Structure 1
Amino acid sequence: MNYTALEDRLFEEWKTRSRQCGDGEEIAPDGLLYRGLFSYADGYWTRRPGDECRRWEQAPRRVLILTKDLNDTEAWDIRCETGRRNFSGPADATVSAPFYKNLMRWVYGLLTVDRHGNTRPFDEADRPDTFRPFYDEAPVARVNCKKQPGGSQLTNSALQGFLTRYADLLERQIRLYDADILLCCGGSDLIKDFVQAHYLPDLCRMSDWIWYSPSVRKLVVNSWHPSYHGDTHEGMYNAMMQHYSEFLYAFPGFFPGR
């Protein structure tokens, strides 16, 4: 399946809706992250399209990251993101922003757990030479609930407004990927609540972190925002993995068999 083409068609509808609602002319495309060549030009890292569609279709487990919006005043294609530090030179592949470091650790932990529910320890997930190359190659989709460029903050009331105005489009995009694990990041339950209201109505609460849809065997991880400062990176990782592991012990048949 050509996910990129389907995404682009959806974004054209999003642009039209955005103009009609007075939310601006620009949107930031997102979705299945590109897995082609890295490049560095004019101070910016980027990535080109590659075999991300094949990787996604063949993945034993699929992770969809749902975040709030683009923390930038100018729109750019999130599918090109690398997490690398810009303006650092083409030889510097450092990932320094807490947002990306946490996302990469979390995805590493969610995708490397074994069938018995044993997760990787933080000291392993915290190594840049472990989480960065893993994330670079893993099939990952990342979707912003608000597609328009933003700033450093998005209030929950504003987020709810965008979730309401674009609910049908966001639901279609979420359904497109048929992900096994939906990692909902921030928004004080608003993102998780949207998934439950529009996509997985039978979500059952397993813990503060974990929700499960038994009818389609999909897991929702209700997480902090990746830039959250109220806990340490280690504390957030360990809490997520503990609840994830406890769920897998209780539901050993969760893993899909693609």
Structure 2
Amino acid sequence: MSITASENNLFDEWKGNREGFVSDGLVSELDYLNSKIKICVVLKEVNDPDGGGWDLREFLSNGARAQTWNNVVRWINSIRNIDRNIPWEDIDNIDEQDRKSQLKSICAMNLKKSPGTHTADIASLKSVANEDSEFIKKQFSLYDPDITICGGTGDLFKSVAGLDEYKWNRTIRGIWWYERAPCKYVVAYCHPEARVDNPLIVYGLIDAIREIYS
């Protein structure tokens, strides 16, 4: 069975628990499996005050939106060229076609499948993620990514994904990470739309991953 088919079977079971369920995961299974470095981005929830009921995979395949996803594209480009120092001018201007091209190769999953608003309700997020822990474990186990980037979800993801046995390490500049399997890393980082200048969001992560790989 394909990963996408396994995702959909899992979501069919999961949907009954969450009103407005928003599916997520692999944008393109083929592109993900063919990636030099398989990347999974773990976020909190989708921002949708209208109530959800759609598919994040389709949204990303259609180019998503600049907010949030431009920085993810920059992460992808930089991680897959980790030996290069990419100047900002080369990744400053990201358009819809760039997002379509790059986002199809990743996995993106939210810990809370029911939608929220621009600012996450942390108590609700933790409650729902803990209730759905077994589903989250099953979903993450489908992907076996090389790099998992937790965008504001580090400790919570570690707990609900059943990864508590792994010990946090810290880079020399203070970014937390752990190795969940040989050469398979999880990095706790800020949300890609954090209120920080974009170059700091991008190069801070790349600096950490370069150190982890060294």
> Matches of residues 237-248 of structure 1 in structure 2 within 5 Å?
237-248=202-213
Post-superposition offset of 1:240: 1.2
Give me the TM-score of the superposition, normalised by structure 1.
Answer: 0.72
Distance 1:194 1:10 in 2: 20
Deviations 1:58-109 (A, max 9, x none): 323100111110101332100112487xxxxxxxx7x763311111111221
Q: RMSD of aligned C-alpha atoms?
A: 2.5
C-alpha distance in structure 1 between counterparts of 2:8 and 2:179, whole Å: 29
Choose 216-225 or 200-209, whichever is displaced more: 200-209
| Contact 1:104-1:135 within 8 A present in 2 as well | yes
Query: 1:201 aligns to what?
Result: 165
Aligned to 1:150: 116
Runs of 4+ with >6 A deviation? none
In structure 2, the CA distance between the partners of 1:142 and 1:172, relative to structure 1 (3 Å rule), is same
Q: Letter of the 2:139 partner, please give it.
A: Q
Determine the structure 2 residue equivalent to 1:132.
99
In structure 1, the residue matched to 2:72 is 103
Alignment pair present for 1:59 and 2:28: no
* CA distance 1:133–1:167, change in 2 (3 Å): closer
* Conserved 8 A contact 1:192-1:222: no
CA-CA distance at 1:155 after TM superposition: 2.2
Counterparts in 2 of 1:23-172, with a 5 A limit?
24=19, 26-33=20-27, 52-72=28-48, 73=50, 74-82=52-60, 97-114=66-83, 118-128=84-94, 131-132=98-99, 134-136=101-103, 139-172=105-138
Deviation at 1:158, TM superposition (A): 1.5
Q: Which amino acid aligns with 1:31?
A: G
8 Å contact from structure 2 (residues 36, 80) kept in 1: no
The separation in 2 between residues aligned to 1:65 and 1:59, in whole angstroms, is 15
SS for the counterpart of 2:142 is helix
What SS does the aligned partner of 1:201 have? coil
The residue type paired with residue 27 of structure 1 is F
In the alignment, residue 59 of structure 2 is paired with which amino acid? E
Asked if 1:212 corresponds to 2:178, the answer is yes
- 1:214 and 1:151 mapped to 2: Cα distance? 31
Aligned residues: 209
Indicate the residue corresponding to 1:183 in structure 2: 149
Cα deviation, residue 134, structure 1: 4.7
Larger Rg: 1
**More relative contact order, 1 or 2 (CA 8 Å, 6+ apart):** 2
Q: Which amino acid aligns with 2:200?
A: G
Report if the CA contact (8 A) 1:200-1:213 is conserved.
Answer: no
SS of match in other structure, 1:112: coil
CA distance in 1, matches of 2:107, 2:175: 20
SS in 2 for 1:61: coil
Q: Which amino acid aligns with 2:147?
A: I
Q: Aligned pair in 2 of structure 1 residues 71, 226: CA closer, same or farther (>3 Å)?
A: same
Residue 128 of structure 1 and its aligned partner are, at CA, apart by 2.1
Q: CA deviation at 1:191?
A: 3.7
**Whole-angstrom CA distance in 2 between matches of 1:133 and 1:5:** 22
